Amino acid sequence: MSHLMNTYARLPVAFTRGEGVWLYDAQGKRYLDALAGVAVNALGHSHPKLVAALRDQVGKLIHTSNIYHIEAQEKLADKIAQLSGMDTVFFCNSGAEANEAAIKIARYYGHKKGIENPNIVVLEKSFHGRTLATLSATGSRKVQAGFEPLVSGFVRVPFDDLEAVRRVAASNKNVVAILAELVQGEGGVCVCGSGYLKGLREICDANGWLLMLDEVQTGIGRTGTMFGFQHYGVTPDVMTLAKGLGGGVPIGACVAKGTAASLFQPGSHGSTFGGNILASTAGLTTLDIVETEHLCQNATAMGEHIRASLKRTLAETPGVKEIRGQGLLIGIELDRPCGELVKTGLDAGLLINVTADNVVRLVPPLIISRAEADQLVNELTPLIRSFLMKPAPAAA
Ligand SMILES: *Cc1c(COP(=O)(O)O)cnc(C)c1O
């Protein structure tokens, strides 16, 4: 019997090494990694510059404490502030923790305004994490069921629907913030409309709410800009980061601007590991590589190339409903649940993911080349075609 808690339905494979977009198992079989540790390995595997920086750091120090100054953490905060146009950063170790910090900032902000029972607007089909507050904010009953009582104080509206947000603003004076994803990654790679963020900014400004964006999946070049909000010319008050930020080393960040940037004081919040020297070095090196290797531009170009290619190769395939996405966050929506494609992909040496039951999600490393992108399309196309041509299982 395994001594692991049964929290993941694991596939029958373990990898022993990786290089670029490739992973290898113990038998030496090679896999094209179009999942990148679920949008984590932005630089692919074993990027030589990241490996060198981490090796060097491990030989000096791994961890001290936030009781002391950590130069790499301060530099990383400066870098994130410079790249985002925002002011301050709190470092933690995961996306859920980054969102916990955002939720605490929103509540603190409300209490400072004299609102005893502050509410946060959240969206249907959103995903914010698995801790109690973040699963309560998440718009999925599957994530919440069995863990009630949920954390209160969340008001839910449909995604990409400004009218619904305006209705809440008109009727609920306890709202202090909205927490949103601009591309709902776990929710099925749904991209918001071009006017959505600007509309949210206006509603937030008119009502004194904080505009908080969960960029845990969309941040760090994934959508073709360093941060997803940069497509829309609007800056949030709070942004959360994690997945891609450390190039595979666990790190999360809650970034804030204006009033939200200076609410926390010593004692308000903390994290033992958050922003330690190793994680901060990983973050600094990752951002440096994303910039110097022009990976945002590559994400834009390769994302467009993959989507255009798939639209061509799957054009005549009935059952493909939509091919969509932004940068290298790509979804292929089918007309039926397609979880088994993950296993057929694995057998064929292709690592993909299925989310929202019927959406194939591709989040390859941002370093993917055109030849590798073509290979991805050429291997994925027949898998999807033959899956859709199979007769549907007889209804039970
Ligand atoms: C993955 C994800 C999270 C949760 O991150 P963890 O590191 O697993 O806690 C939160 N929000 C979004 C948008 C995510 O994609």
**Tens-place pLDDT, residues 220-277:** 999 999 999 999 999 999 999 999 999 999 999 999 999 999 999 999 999 999 999 9
Same structural domain, 185 and 279: yes
CATH code of the domain covering residue 108: 3.40.640.10
Nearest to 243 by CA among 363, 70, 162, 333: 363
Other C-beta atoms closer than 10 Å to the C-beta of 383 total 18
Rounded CA separation 137/120 (Å) = 9
Ligand 1 centroid from CA 204, angstroms: 24
The string of DSSP codes covering 159-219 is TT-HHHHHHHHHH-TTEEEEEE-SEETTTTSEEPPTTHHHHHHHHHHHHT-EEEEE-TTTT
Same structural domain, 278 and 310: no
Ligand 1 centroid from CA 123, angstroms: 15
Same structural domain, 38 and 60: no
> Catalytic one among 243, 257, 264, 387?
243
161 — pLDDT class (breaks 50, 70, 90): very high
Predicted confidence (pLDDT) at residue 381 exceeds the cutoff of 90: yes
Predicted confidence (pLDDT) at residue 394 exceeds the cutoff of 70: no
Same structural domain, 54 and 38: no
Rounded CA separation 120/270 (Å) = 22
Same structural domain, 122 and 63: yes
Other C-beta atoms closer than 10 Å to the C-beta of 100 total 24
For residue 96, give its domain range.
50-292
15 is an active site residue: no
Same structural domain, 80 and 189: yes
Whole-number pLDDT of residue 395: 56
Same structural domain, 154 and 195: yes
Whole-number pLDDT of residue 392: 67
Task: Please state the atom number of ligand 1 nearest to the C-alpha of residue 217.
Answer: 15
Ligand 1 near 95 CB (within 6 A):
yes
Contact call for residues 307 and 322 (beta carbons, < 8 A) = no
Predicted confidence (pLDDT) at residue 87 exceeds the cutoff of 60: yes
Predicted confidence (pLDDT) at residue 396 exceeds the cutoff of 60: no
142 is an active site residue: no
Whole-number pLDDT of residue 391: 77
Please give the C-alpha separations between residue 216 and each of 223, 236, 244, 312, 345, in angstroms, as whole numbers.
12, 14, 8, 31, 26
Domain-located, residue 220: yes
Ligand 1 centroid from CA 240, angstroms: 9
Length of the chain: 396
Same structural domain, 250 and 140: yes
Look-up of token digits 């964006």: 213
120 — pLDDT class (breaks 50, 70, 90): very high
Please give the C-alpha separations between residue 246 and each of 30, 286, 371, in angstroms, as whole numbers.
24, 6, 26
Domain-located, residue 179: yes
243 is an active site residue: yes
Q: Whose CA is nearest to atom 5 of ligand 1?
A: 95
Domain-located, residue 5: no
Ligand 1 near 181 CB (within 6 A):
yes
Contact call for residues 35 and 29 (beta carbons, < 8 A) = no
Domain-located, residue 1: no
Predicted confidence (pLDDT) at residue 84 exceeds the cutoff of 70: yes
Task: Please state the atom number of ligand 1 nearest to the C-alpha of residue 126.
Answer: 13
1 — pLDDT class (breaks 50, 70, 90): confident
Same structural domain, 219 and 341: no
Average pLDDT of the residues of the chain: 97
Residue after which a domain boundary falls, among 258, 292, 326: 292
What is the rounded radius of gyration, in angstroms, for the C-alpha atoms of the chain? Answer: 21
Ligand 1 near 127 CB (within 6 A):
yes
Task: Please state the atom number of ligand 1 nearest to the C-alpha of residue 94.
Answer: 7
- Max Cα distance, the chain (Å): 63
| Strand 210-214 to 238-241 pairing | parallel
Domain-located, residue 6: no
Ligand 1 centroid from CA 50, angstroms: 23
Three-state secondary structure of 123-139: ECCCCCCCCHHHHHHCC
In the β-sheet with 88-92, what is the strand arrangement from edge to edge? 88-92, 252-256, 238-241, 210-214, 175-180, 119-123, 154-157
Residue after which a domain boundary falls, among 257, 292, 327: 292
Q: What are phi and psi of 38, to 5 degrees?
A: 60, 70
Ligand 1 near 96 CB (within 6 A):
yes
Using CB atoms within 10 A of its CB, is residue 271 exposed (0-12), middle (13-18) or buried (19+)?
middle
Same structural domain, 278 and 328: no
Domain-located, residue 10: no
Ligand 1 centroid from CA 244, angstroms: 11
Whole-number pLDDT of residue 116: 97
pLDDT in tens, 331-340: 999 999 999 9
Ligand 1 centroid from CA 338, angstroms: 22
Mean pLDDT over 42-63 rounds to 98
Same structural domain, 235 and 91: yes
For the chain, the domain total comes to 2
> Catalytic one among 90, 91, 127, 227?
127
Share of the chain above pLDDT 90, in %: 98
Domain-located, residue 181: yes
Rounded CA separation 77/109 (Å) = 22
Ligand 1 near 333 CB (within 6 A):
no
Same structural domain, 322 and 271: no
pLDDT in tens, 326-376: 999 999 999 999 999 999 999 999 999 999 999 999 999 999 999 999 999
Domain-located, residue 3: no
Task: Please state the atom number of ligand 1 nearest to the C-alpha of residue 93.
Answer: 7
CATH code of the domain covering residue 346: 3.90.1150.10
